[in-house]
């Protein structure tokens, strides 16, 4: 009986530390490993307000370590002199972070994804954001298919991951595009 109880408690705290469930009161809840990395590598200050750092951190991880959004939606992508392709550190440019503007030919630019006055990333409701990420629907014209944007890959992401990206994008500072002539500069 007692052993069962002990095993139960150990299992519960292991699960809590892995999946970020509320642990025993008074103990700090460790962030999931990916969320902790995400918090560390976010290149801008985050307005957490009442948001869950585990969710926002995971969103940062997906945006900054996995999905490459800033390659196209940040212009320029890297801080002056820090392009990793020219021997720089790869430090991201923070003043225009995800402010949009990398051109793809004469008629296409990646729009900004930072929060508008209502806190919506790129002015998008969660529903429009999901429609863009899952179905490639242009938020201004749902009959038009988003070009270049890798939505056909992102559509396989779990709801939790897309939600985490959305929450992260709500936490970053508003920014405008700087200048660049293409992605990843």
Site for ligand HEC in 77-106 (CB under 6 A): 104
Residue 61 burial (10 A CB sphere; 0-12, 13-18, 19+): buried
Residue number with CB closer to ligand HEC (5 or 181): 181
Nearest approach, Cβ of 113 to ligand HEC (angstroms)?
A: 6
How many residues contact ligand HEC, by CB under 6 A? 26
> Angle 159-171/126-135 helices, nearest 10 degrees?
130
Inter-residue contact 17 to 44 (CB < 8 Å): no
Inter-residue contact 78 to 84 (CB < 8 Å): yes
Asked if 153 is part of the footprint of ligand HEC (rule: CB under 6 A), the reply reads no
**The residue to which tokens 């460790």 are assigned:** 30
Q: Tell me which of 13, 23, 71, 173 binds ligand HEC, using CB under 6 A.
A: 71
Q: Which residues bind ligand HEC (CB under 6 A)?
A: 63, 67-69, 71-73, 104, 108, 110-111, 113, 122, 124, 129, 132, 138-139, 146-150, 154, 165, 183
């Amino acid at each position: 009986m007692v052993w069962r109880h002990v095993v139960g408690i150990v299992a519960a705290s292991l699960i809590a530390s892995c999946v970020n469930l509320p642990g025993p009161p008074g103990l700090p809840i460790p962030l999931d490993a990916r969320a902790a990395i995400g918090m560390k590598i976010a290149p801008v200050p985050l307005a957490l307000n009442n948001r869950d750092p585990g969710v926002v951190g995971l969103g940062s991880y997906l945006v900054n370590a996995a999905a490459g959004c800033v390659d196209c939606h940040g212009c320029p992508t890297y801080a002056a002199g820090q392009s990793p392709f020219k021997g720089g550190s790869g430090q991201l440019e923070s003043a225009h972070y995800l402010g949009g503007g990398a051109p793809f030919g004469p008629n296409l630019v990646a729009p900004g994804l930072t929060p508008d006055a209502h806190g919506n990333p790129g002015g998008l409701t969660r529903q429009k954001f999901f429609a863009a990420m899952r179905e490639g629907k242009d938020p201004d014209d749902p009959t038009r298919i988003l070009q270049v944007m890798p939505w056909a890959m992102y559509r396989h992401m779990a709801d939790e991951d897309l939600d985490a990206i959305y929450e992260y994008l709500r936490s970053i500072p508003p920014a405008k595009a700087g200048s660049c002539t293409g992605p990843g500069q």
